[in-house]
Structure 1
């Protein structure tokens, strides 16, 4: 069954139209699982978590120094205090204090009940078992109140959220040992094509090594994914149909590469129509025009192009946000910057292009981008050398050197 959202059969779906179709079609999974905190990094929080305790649980010293009661001293003049003990982090000072006494205290140590002030060790003079405070000492300083970070029963983290290292630290500070997260997505992927050969075998004339599965394996590396490599499927419609039907029973998502175009041996779209539903097929994007999106039973399907750079672009722009939405993650948006382009960029109007570029930052912080090399969609070396997409709107007819362009960095580090 086909459900292609084009005004007519000759039109291509825009990037935004395709993303909108995906957003409206896919619903997040609801199943959860309980995991221990060390296994929660990068997982998607399923339920909001409140703190069972105050953080910190007691009043603590914000620095190394001396704890005392300000009421024991006359304000605005130098004073001497007798040191009667030490409060260590994890080893509180529990004895009582008399007027004119203080306790040596270290950062993070519990402040004795009698004390309401801590003075930094750099501000005092030590004379045997007494310390002298300067005339300008300030009362009621350098003490962290109980619950000054988080109050008991206060919400720690709001779901859904992809848990970071800082999140795990916060949960550990609250004593949380286990949390509920969304279960992992079951994802299967395979390549199609009689010309493809697995690594370790010699190449015959006309054959190439299958690089797409290694690209997808890397792109799919995520703690929220349980990934299965389904190998290479030949250009045989019956074998492709059987592969899709079997994989759909075991996975939430199937991703194929190759066979999504209009050649005589490109069977993906017609096979998907036979055993499932095609939501859309051709997109106004370069590289990556032939992209099939649909469903087989309860399993979502993405048929990506065969050229590896087109796989990279279509995965990042369509599959990745779809997987995040299906997994229940909050929506994200690629960082887009406006920078000077130092290369002349060729383009014909009609399709939105994602050219591969090298984004650089000068010593004074100015950003500029240049073309990474030739832009054919089979050229993996250029993709390997690039660190950003240069995004050119569908209406663009090219860019002259020195003009401002939009770029999407692959990471936040240049």
Structure 2
């Protein structure tokens, strides 16, 4: 057998963490590895940010809960409430304490009272739908009555009818009703906001360069988030139907191309790709 050398197979004090070194910076998300690192230096407790309390509302009398009515029995104009389920899951993945407040009816007075009540018990009030300009879109005037609206509409696609402001002491965020619009605006706008509330310093979605294996010949006035996925050649394929109601695109794709306004894409162009795994 070989004779071990002096110092071989020895873990020296400070080889992992030197005296005075910063172990976990403020704002670091406590992943399994981070918890293990804290335990490795004998810490049983850590100061943490409180979980944001979020009130989640859906809006619209046309919404039907899955499982209550069979597809063939849906009334004319009715749709299943899909946003409620993915938004609640996304909020929980971000560490939020979620109160599912159900569906706001298409009534001004009921909307005002529901938002007033929720704002007194939550840090954030999040709605889906009701911030457009239809006759039954009551969320916008209700927020203006109870607080203020700082932003209404944003130049991205999908996701133009996006709103934010205050309702009482709570932050208000109003997402579009179309499922893909709601999904994308949550990932790009709401996720960074909620992370910042918890003290995370670097919240911007991270993109990488990738090769487009598709053509996008028509420039758009708004910044676009195109649903794509990697192919066997390492490039990006485009989901053919980019409509804001086609939720299939978010399951088929593994991310989005962050496409600037006023530009086209030709096959082989380098684009900025944001992976869904980076955002969820």
Q: TM-score normalised to the size of structure 1?
A: 0.63
Distance 1:223 1:315, change over 3 A: closer
Answering whether residue 232 of structure 2 is matched by residue 358 of structure 1, we say no
2:78 equivalent among 207, 226, 235: 207
Residue pair 2:230, 2:236 contacting (<8 A) in 1 also: yes
SS in 2 for 1:221: helix
Which of the numbers 102, 111, 130 marks the counterpart of 1:240? 111
**Residue 376 to residue 155, structure 1, CA distance change in 2 (3 Å):** closer
| Residue from 139, 143, 157 that aligns with 1:272 | 143
Partner of 1:401: 267
Q: What's the offset of the Cα at 1:213? A: 0.2
Deviation at 1:153, TM superposition (A): 6.3
**Structure 1 residues 96-116: Cα deviation after superposition (integer angstroms, max 9, x where no partner):** xxxxxxxxxxxxxxxxxxxxx
- Shift of the 185–395 alpha-carbon distance from structure 1 to 2, 3 Å rule, reads same
Counting only pairs closer than 5 Å after superposition, residues 246-395 of structure 1 correspond to structure 2 as 246-360=117-231, 362=233, 367-395=234-262
1:41-52 correspondence to structure 2 within 5 Å: none
Q: The residue matched to 2:277 in structure 1 has which SS? A: coil
- Report the alpha carbon displacement of residue 373 of structure 1 after superposing the two structures with TM: 2.4
Q: Which runs of 5+ in 2 are unaligned?
A: none
Q: How does 1:84-163 map to 2 (within 5 A)?
A: 123-124=1-2, 133=3, 138-151=5-18, 155-163=22-30
Q: 1:229 aligns with which of 100, 105, 113?
A: 100
DSSP 3-state at the match of 1:245? helix
Higher fraction of strand: 1
In 1, Cα distance between the equivalents of 2:19 and 2:109?
61
SS at match of 2:47: strand
Deviations 1:180-230 (A, max 9, x none): 211111001111111111122222121111111011012112363101111
Change (3 A) 1:293 1:176: same
Offset, 1:257: 0.7
Contact 1:281 1:293 in 2 (8 A): yes
What secondary structure, in the 3-state scheme, does the structure 1 residue paired with 2:53 have? strand
SS at match of 1:406: strand
Structure 2 counterpart SS, 1:171:
helix
Are residues 1:170 and 2:41 paired?
no
Name 1:197's counterpart in structure 2. Answer: 64
Cα distance, 1:302 vs. partner? 0.6
**Largest Rg, 1 or 2:** 1
Q: 1:264 and 1:223 mapped to 2: Cα distance?
A: 34
Q: Quote the Cα distance in structure 1 between the aligned partners of 2:100 and 2:277.
A: 26
Structure 1 regions of 5+ residues with no counterpart?
1-122, 125-132
Query: For the Cα contact (< 8 Å) 1:183–1:224, is it kept in 2?
Result: no
- Length, aligned pairs only: 274
- Taking the aligned partners of 2:121 and 2:217, their CA distance within structure 1 comes to 44
TM-score (norm 2): 0.91
1:113 equivalent in structure 2: none
Task: Summarize the Cα distance change of 1:411–1:361 in structure 2 as closer, same or farther, 3 Å threshold.
Answer: farther
Q: What is the CA–CA distance in structure 2 between the aligned matches of 1:148 and 1:403, rounded to whole Å?
A: 45
SS, match of residue 152 in structure 2: strand
CA deviation vs aligned residue, 1:269-309 (integer Å, no higher than 9, x gap):
12111111101101111111111100012100111110000
Query: Within 2, Cα distance between the matches of 1:234 and 1:341?
Result: 43
Matched residues in 1 for 2:166 and 2:178: separation?
23
